[in-house]
Structure 1
Amino acid sequence: MAGTTPQVQSKKESQSETKPSEFLRPQDSQSHINPVPDIISESKSKDVSMESSLTSELQSSPGSDEDERQHVLAYGKDSDLQKHPTSRQPEATFISEGFNNWKKSGDEFKKHDKSSYHRDALAKHKKHGNDSVTSLLLAKVTKEQQCRRNLRGSDIEGLPTWLSEKTYMSPAIVNEQSMLLGRAVRLKILERIKAASVHEDAIGLYEVPSTTSATLTEVLKDTLIRCDLPLSNCRGQGYDGASNFQDHVNGVAVQLQGEEPRAVHVHCLAHCINLALQEATRACKPLRDALDITIEVNKLIKYSPKREHLFKNLPKALSIEKRLDMDVPQTERTRGLRPLCPTRWTVRTGSINSVLENFDTLRKAFEEINKGHDENARIAGGLLSQFDQFSVPFGLKVSSQIFGASEQLSSSIQSVETTAKDARKGAEQVLAYYDKLRSTDTFSEFYKSVVDEAEDKTDPPRLPRYRKRPKRLDDGSNTHTFPSVEDYCRQQYFEGLDIVSEQLKRRFSQKGFETAVEIEQLLLSAANGRNFQISSHIRELYKDDVDFVRLNTQLSMLHDTVKSVSTERGCLITEVTNIDTVVSIINSSPVIRHLFKEISTLLKIYLTIPVTTATSERTFSTLRRLKSYVRSTMTQERLNNVLLLHVHKTIADELSLVDVAREFISFHDRRRNYFGLFS
């Protein structure tokens, strides 16, 4: 056996070769033995694992002095060398001289197998009953595979060794593992979609070669094909206000609706609110001036640590003591300046209110900054002169009222559970609030409060300077003049309310949105036992999805079912005002769900029509956390996979990591040999 080769040399030869103390234990240092070199290292074998795994040791047996001069050494590590008596004849090959002529290795191995040295070593090995080299190798490999499979656990034996080896930790391997995890999350999402459960989920970001409507349409269709989602099953589309999506001739929505008319398109209502405020600000001077001043104040104070420190240390500013004093009520704590969001118009109320709350402090800060001689001193002087005018606090107050109500509406409709009815009801409440503000009595109270607050802070309110009309525009009529400052401010106040109210009404009256409202009114009328009528538009649009003969019968039965189910639950419903109540009644039992199958289908269509694209916007906002400056070279595939894992944390936590690891190992035979098979 090649594992136990004999070696016998004379004392003279042993001393000339090497020192025994370098290889033997101290008590054996006088033995005249030339230790066996490592056959694997001498023969320059490529199988390195064989050298470290052969750990069997042959124990020495007692004998005479003559026997002690005759030894067999089991090759392996120097610390594992043991001595055994064997034949007196030496064999240079595989022992002292080494072997490198591998073309004739077969003949040499056969010759060695027939030698007395090999037979003696084999007999000694069997006598001691040690495990075979193969079994020892297999046991060690199995233990290492088990350790590698359980590296996610704590206090695992072999983890430091794994980390030091840096095996399977390259960027390519990490990308492959993230790909497997991202694909598993995507498959879970698609399973929920195909199960016809109504929810909003992001399935990834996709790179496009251009932003034309034709290219975007092809990318969307290709994505649906890759996800095994037929376009014929699409019942709703939601986009922002970009022209390549919203164009009524060649937009993405129109192209997809041309192939699937039932894919109802809705302009994102959150974007509609944003655009309504943008139009009002562009047309109303007090709103426009208030935002301009807020932007300039933030740029002057927040963009400079020196000026921000000056602002915070002035009297009544946001001092450290007052900010950390928890005994001070929350309503009495002074807040610092809040930055103005550059893109979202519905989150600017906080920045406007922070300027109002720190009005006096800002005036003092401008006075200090104006003492300098640089460009910022001139900007501070201009802001200081504007802060002396009554129009500044008036415009800030008006902006706070208008923006505040719209901000509440935008926040309320961005939930994933928001339905078309909820959005429409929220818009009606905001419009009612604007109508309440648009009254002479309400404005008089508002104007008086602003005048009282600005009495010692600004100059008295006054009318703007009269400007003569150019002759080319003068038609001979008298120029309109305001009798008082209050009348002039009232006109600007009403103008801002009228513009934002009109914009909200127009943008919430979309054709696709009206389809959802029509379905909702049909279901609520039937649930309350009132007369209902299915419009021709609904019949034509969903003729392939709903059997309207059965739907008509089921709608007639719905009112009695609502009463009976609510009575069984112990709370009699006198009137159904929310579509969620109808959903709860239909899902109360499998029998009722099957009995009202057509109503269930109509409910799914209604709930599928999107109200906002807030989920997609939030997904896109995560890029700021994922694709940071240190990850700027991340590939599109890796970014997509990491994004899915970050957005869908709940689904990622529920994944079977054993299944993912099994798939990773199954890619190559080398991985299966390295990790083994998962049970």
Structure 2
Amino acid sequence: MSSSTESAQSCLPKVTSQPYQPMSAFVFPKRTFGKKVVVRRSCQSPWFEKRKWLHYSTKDDAVFCHVCVVALQSKKIKWQKGDPSFVSKGFSAWKEATVAFKSHESSSCHREAMQMIVELPKTCPDVGKMLSREHATEKGQNRECLLKIISNLKFLTRQGLPVRGDGDETDSNFIQLLKLRGQDDPLLKCWLTRKSSKYVSHDMRNEFINIMALSILREIAECIQKSTIFSIMCDECTDSSNREQLVLCIRWIDHGNLEPQEDVIGTYQIDDISAHTVVSVIRDMLVLMNFSLSRCRGQCYNGAANMKGGNTGVAKQLLDEEPRALYTHCYGHALNLAVGDAVKHCKVMKDALDTTYEVSKLVKYSPKRDTALQKLKESLAPDTPGFRTLCPTRWTVRADSLKSEIDNYCVLQELWETSKDYVSDPAIKGRIIGVLFQFRTFQYLFERRHTVRSLLKGLQETRTKLDVDDPVLPGKRKVPRRYEEGSAEPEFFDVCKQFYCQQYYEALDLFVNAIQARFDQPGFKMYRNLQDLLLQAVKSDDYRECLNHVTSLCHDDLDAQQLQLHHEILQANFVLVDKTSVTVCMTLGTTS
């Protein structure tokens, strides 16, 4: 740039992005014009209304062409084309203002400046702004597609469906769900045609799932932090790949509605199931969730030695650190074990389950017999529920299978009658004849009744309806000498009713003893004290012994005096509000 051009640039007035045009109330200074006739003239406000390019300088009391000045400053027009009166010196000859304005508007300098500063930006936007706008649009579309991909993963994981499934990656559940949604969303359909940066790879999916899992864990941890206490529940199992997996759960009370909540914290692969390994995983989980073991008030595991061992078990190690974390053998598991123990020692129930299992195999392992059973059911007993097979693991739900067998007793009898005629396999035919024989005996029907009274009361009606033989006493057999103790004569039943009552009460005693053996736990006794503390307070009984047991364990969690005061208030409310509730509580306390 030459020195003359630099000096000319320095002569340009300082202007902002918009021209300065004073309001109509502004008082312009007046100048004196003429030698013979003196006239005082000034700038006029109406000029700015017609010409938006005028810029008034209060310092020079002159007007400039704002468009030309900006064009020269940005070097979009050459300096030689500029009119000094409107770009450097300023125009102040107010008498010739109108003519000068028109002349400047028609000049090549002003037309070129208007084109470069005003018209060209309207027709050709700035490239940087255009790229920025396109980038923002692309970023918004990418975000929209990414949210749909994440929602697909959320749906599959929430429903427990495999993300990949069987077969090739293109046929996976995840990709096929995206294609299905792409039929109604052109943007997503176009996204799937991209060769890269689709965020659907294996690593990206795992990262999204981990982010969602951590978000859920943070929400669970926040809710549990608001609760005062919690309990730990865990169990181990072997997965399909023959690896040990430990499942950890937290049970806590929602203070909003006082309802218990159970949340799964995670599944952890462990090398072995020793007590030391399980305790290490539990401690890691507590650190991860920012929980303190001092707030733990319960432990619930199975009855395995590594979990409840009295010396080095998981429960013992945690109890040594926090005595208030009472151990409880899972009641569902304990009940299942109690039923299993009772059945193993009761021949009546064992035979009943063995025959029912044989019936399940004969029906469900043969599509032909299963179809025949459905047709017979539609004709003989269309309103009764269908036949249910025995659950292979849970003993407590096998009652549904036994009940379905009673409901379909006539249908099953007809099925065996028809099946034994067309079955050619001798082994299968022998099994069917054996089951049919059992169905006709009174002993088999007795094994499926809940009470002796309900069976014996309608004995005649039941035998007629179900085509069952009369009850008979078993043959009198002398006990072998090696089992005899003493010299008393053996006792035999003379009446069928006595024989079946003896079998029923024997089974009942076995069940009671098995339940007592499985539920006789130290933690259960403390929970019983908590229950009795409330019931005895409502019944106006002496509850000081239960109160001492509770306060001795939970001395840091409650105040004995305040608790006693609350019990007195509770007792008064029960008496004043509802006397029936007091009677119910007294009944519960007596029966429990």
TM over 0.5: yes
In the alignment, is the contact (CA less than 8 A) between 2:298 and 2:325 conserved in 1?
Answer: yes
Deviations 1:508-534 (A, max 9, x none): 442212212213333454567654426
CA distance in 2 between counterparts of 1:458 and 1:557 reads 61
1:139 corresponds to which letter in structure 2?
R
User: For 1:289, which of 344, 351, 374 is the aligned residue?
Assistant: 351
Aligned twin of 1:245: 307
2:509 & 2:279 partners in 1: Cα distance? Answer: 37
Return the letter of the residue paired with 2:222: E
Distance (whole Å) between structure 2 residues aligned to residue 159 and residue 299 of structure 1: 50
Q: Give the whole-Å Cα distance in 1 for the aligned partners of 2:555 and 2:344.
A: 45
Aligned residue in 1 for 2:144: 150
> Does 2:494 correspond to 1:483?
yes
Q: 1:472 and 2:495 equivalent?
A: no
Say what the alpha-carbon RMSD is for the aligned residues: 3.3
- Note closer, same or farther for the CA distance 1:292–1:174 as it changes in structure 2 (3 Å cut): same
The correspondence of residues 141-290 of structure 1 with structure 2, limited to 5 A, is 141-151=135-145, 152=147, 158-165=187-194, 167-196=198-227, 198=253, 199-290=261-352
Superposed, 1:430-469 pairs within 5 Å as 443=452, 446-455=455-464, 457-469=467-479
Show the counterpart of 2:176: none
C-alpha separation between the residues in 1 aligned to 2:561 and 2:436? 69
- CA contact 2:275–2:312 (8 Å) conserved in 1: yes
Per-residue deviation, 1:162: 1.7
- 8 A contact 1:213–1:250 mirrored in 2: yes
Task: Measure, in 1, the Cα distance between the counterparts of 2:122 and 2:341.
Answer: 95
Letter of the 2:322 partner, please give it.
E
Shift of 1:150: 2.6
Q: Residue 396 of structure 1: which of 435, 445, 448 is its match?
A: 448
CA distance in 2, matches of 1:388, 1:344: 28
| CA contact 1:527–1:576 (8 Å) conserved in 2 | no
Correspondence for 2:433 among 351, 375, 381: 381
CA distance in 1, matches of 2:121, 2:461: 109
Q: Aligned residue for 1:540?
A: 552
Paired with 1:128 and 1:343, the residues of 2 have a C-alpha distance of 78
**Partner Cα separation in structure 2 for residue 188 and residue 204 of structure 1:** 14
Structure 2 partner of 1:518: 529
Aligned equivalents of 2:408, 2:569: Cα separation in 1: 60
8 Å Cα contact 2:537/2:567 also seen in 1: yes
* Contact residue 244 and residue 251 of structure 1 kept, 8 A: yes
8 Å CA contact retained: 1:147, 1:157:
no
Secondary structure in structure 1 of the residue aligned to 2:327: strand
Which letter maps to 2:565?
A: S
Structure 1 residues 574 and 515: CA distance shift in structure 2, 3 A:
same
Matched, 1:502 2:513: yes
Output the CA distance in 1 between the equivalents of 2:364 and 2:434. 17
1:348 aligns with 2:398: yes
Structure 2 CA distance for partners of 1:464 and 1:560, relative to 1, 3 Å: closer
> Mean alpha-carbon deviation: is it higher for 229-238 or for 368-377?
368-377
Structure 1, residues 310-363: CA drift from partner, whole Å, max 9, x if none?
22223xx145x975xxxxxxxxx1322112111112212221112112222222
Q: Does structure 1 retain, via aligned residues, the 8 Å contact 2:416–2:436?
A: yes
Q: Does the aligned pair in 2 maintain the 1:213–1:244 contact within 8 Å?
A: yes
Q: Determine helix, strand or coil for the equivalent of 2:266.
A: coil
Change (3 A) 1:357 1:195: same
1:557 Cα deviation from its structure 2 partner: 5.1
Does the C-alpha gap of structure 1 residues 522 and 445 become closer, same or farther in structure 2, counting only changes over 3 Å?
closer
Amino acid at match of 1:222: D
What is the DSSP-based 3-state SS (H/G/I as helix, E as strand, rest coil) of the residue aligned with 1:204?
Answer: strand
- Write out aligned runs for 1:100-119 (5 A): none
Distance in structure 1 (CA, Å) of the matches to 2:188 and 2:523: 58
Does the 8 A contact of 2:381 with 2:408 survive in 1?
no
Task: Find 1:133's aligned residue among 116, 127, 130.
Answer: 127
Larger relative CO (CA 8 A, sep 6+): 1 or 2? 1
Matched residue count: 397
Residue 572, structure 1, aligned to residue 577, structure 2: yes
Q: Percent identity?
A: 31
Please tell me the residue identity of whatever aligns with 2:551. Answer: R
The whole-number CA distance in structure 2 between the counterparts of 1:445 and 1:128 is 96
Partner of 1:478: helix, strand, or coil?
coil
**Partners of 1:528 and 1:559 within 8 A in 2:** no
Larger radius of gyration: 2
If each structure's strand is expressed as a fraction of its own residues, which one has the higher value?
Answer: 2
Change (3 A) 1:303 1:574: same
Secondary structure of 1:481's partner?
Answer: coil
The secondary structure found in structure 2 opposite 1:203 is strand
CA contact (8 A) 1:335 1:357 kept: yes
Among candidates 408, 411, 433, match of residue 361 of structure 1: 411
The CA distance in 2 between the partners of 1:283 and 1:562, in whole Å, is 46
Q: Give CA-to-partner distance per residue, 1:290-315, whole Å, 9 cap, x none.
A: 1111111011101221110122223x
1:259 maps to a residue whose letter is E
**What is the distance in 2 between the residues matched to 1:512 and 1:128?**
82
Partner of 1:4 in structure 2?
Answer: none
What TM-score comes out, normalization by structure 1 length? 0.53
Distance, in Å, in 2 between the alignment partners of 1:128 and 1:486 is 106
Letter in 2 for 1:453: T
The secondary structure found in structure 2 opposite 1:207 is: strand
**Which digits, 9 at most, give the CA deviation of each residue in 1:137-180, with x for residues without a partner?**
21111001112223357976733222222611112111111111
8 Å contact from structure 2 (residues 538, 582) kept in 1: no
Letter in 1 for 2:568: H
Q: Secondary structure at 2:405's aligned position in 1?
A: helix
Q: Secondary structure at the match of 2:468?
A: coil
Moved more, 129-138 or 261-270: 129-138
Go from structure 1 to structure 2 and tell me whether the alpha carbon gap of 1:528 and 1:284 turns closer, same or farther (over 3 Å shift): closer
* Residue pair 1:237, 1:264 contacting (<8 A) in 2 also: yes
Gaps of 5+ in 1: 1-122, 324-332, 402-436, 438-442, 581-679
Name the structure 2 match of 1:44: none
Q: Contact conserved, 2:446 with 2:455, CA < 8 A, in 1?
A: no
CA distance in 2, matches of 1:387, 1:517: 44
- Paired with 1:177 and 1:444, the residues of 2 have a C-alpha distance of 62
Unpaired runs of 5+ in structure 2?
1-115, 149-180, 229-252, 254-260, 586-592
User: Do the aligned partners of 1:527 and 1:555 also contact (CA within 8 Å) in 2?
Assistant: no
User: SS of 1:559's equivalent?
Assistant: helix
Superposition TM-score, scaled by structure 2 size: 0.60
